[in-house]
Structure 1
């Protein structure tokens, strides 16, 4: 039994040594995010007011999730999200049944600043009579050519090449090269989800 334990321990040590703790695997699937200032929408009554007492309801995007299929020539990403809202009673204290449609955008962005595609949709919220809260769900699909998510071969070779301690560039991070950084950035995509806000609503969010 002691010999077996030694053999098992040795095997575990060998496996651990074969793993590079600094290795980062890059996925062709686009990341999904809710930009900070467009993840919440506040409606007022009357609309031109910005007083706290005039808030009609506040909605926010939550539970953003993606399912990605990276196989094949196209990388397809299904985006799902929910919208929740909390309303205030009317001036007479009533909470009548009510339906509101909130505008939401789903954008595909390349390299952090290039808008590739944008889709506008609406999420319907139905407040039941007497209820202060309501929720709805939305979704969209983003497709990217797999070739666009793959950096050029020469860039990949520079990043993944095994280097020895005696190599002149052994201590040089490939990502410190602007050319390499630009190539990786160009092959990186994001799906951004947010409310399609008018100027006044965006200014309100920025001021909060």
Structure 2
């Protein structure tokens, strides 16, 4: 009896479609290339390694998405860590630096919907080479803008039989379907607000 029950459970599990993907309305959260790190120099015009004042980077990004019937809210928390240059004085003084950041909402991978400037204060304790700060951001979207049209959802979720003429045709190969999914896909991008010289330095590293 136990063997028969186990066999039934295995067969039931095998009946699930392993190719079915559930699309989340929540935006992806990411750091674009070359803006996740910030290097400050002293003097500012120098780009020599021995002139590096400190190097900061964005780490430990966490996001909590709360979708409802009306809205999709995403709360983001992150840390900024930094390492400063060692000094001839072993008793490094305590120091705070305020670093500019941006939070952008992008639609379809290339359309900038909104951008907000913010900042994070990084604190170096006395005698410490490493400093740390925390930041937060929030994104809110209407549920309607992240929901594909009903006809597109129907095409994507329709179960096809092997004998159907389009059984082997991926619905995403249709430009109309692909465009609809792209238009309802969003990303939250987080990074340092860099000037041209700082961005060029990051690209060249």
TM-score range, shorter chain: over 0.9
1:28-75 Cα shifts (integer Å, max 9, x gaps): 011101112100000001101111111110000001111111113110
CA distance in 2, matches of 1:4, 1:132: 63
Asked whether 1:204 is paired with 2:201, we answer yes
Asked whether 1:102 is paired with 2:99, we answer yes
Query: Is the partner of 1:72 in helix, strand or coil?
Result: coil
CA distance in 2, matches of 1:134, 1:58: 10
Paired residues, what number? 205
CA distance in 2, matches of 1:130, 1:4: 66
4+ residue segments displaced more than 3 Å: 90-94
**1:4 matched to which residue of 2?**
2
Q: 1:42-191, aligned counterparts within 5 Å?
A: 42-90=39-87, 95-191=92-188
Q: TM-score, normalised by structure 1?
A: 0.95
Q: TM-score, normalised by structure 2?
A: 0.96
Query: Is the partner of 1:201 in helix, strand or coil?
Result: helix
Unpaired runs of at least 5, structure 1: none
CA distance in 1, matches of 2:195, 2:114: 20
CA distance in 2, matches of 1:37, 1:91: 31
Give the Å deviation of 1:200: 0.5
Residue among 186, 189, 192 paired with 1:192: 189
Unpaired runs of at least 5, structure 2: none
